Amino acid sequence: MTKDFFDKIATEFEFNNAKLSQLSPLALAYIGDAVYEVFIRTMLLSEGNMPVHILHRRSIRFVKAKAQSDIIHRIMPSLTSEECNIVRRGRNTKSGTIPKNADIVEYKYATGFESLIGFLYLKKDYERLMDIFKMAVCKGC
């Protein structure tokens, strides 16, 4: 994915600071989930051609709630105060759904992570978004 691709999407749909601040954390998590999933799938495809069921199994390691919860705990010290606030809002929001394969605390932190991804994406802060993605997939960093 290139910056040009995101810029083309961004010119179609403008999200200024006022509009961004009106979005609920769950709306940010909704788009963040999709953006993160596309990143992970793209990353896995870049490693070479493999059967789709293997791609799916490998992607689950990154996108399941426990993995996202672990990521946000690991990268929290690297976040700005604005980013921490977005994560906190996402974590504390009431979702109305009960996770099937995750503990509720992990699920809440995963929602915070997805809210952050959605926020950075809609804000068009692609450089920071890539920083977060790199931290997310680099366990020893």
> What would the CATH number be for the domain defined by 3-137?
1.10.1520.10
Model confidence, pTM: 0.87
Residue listed under structure tokens 């896995």: 44
- Catalytic-labelled residue, pool 7, 33, 125, 131: 33
Note the pLDDT tens digit of each residue in 19-69. 888 899 999 999 999 999 999 999 999 999 999 999 999 999 999 999 999
Active site residue 33: yes
The CA angle 33-80-35, to the nearest 5 degrees, is 15
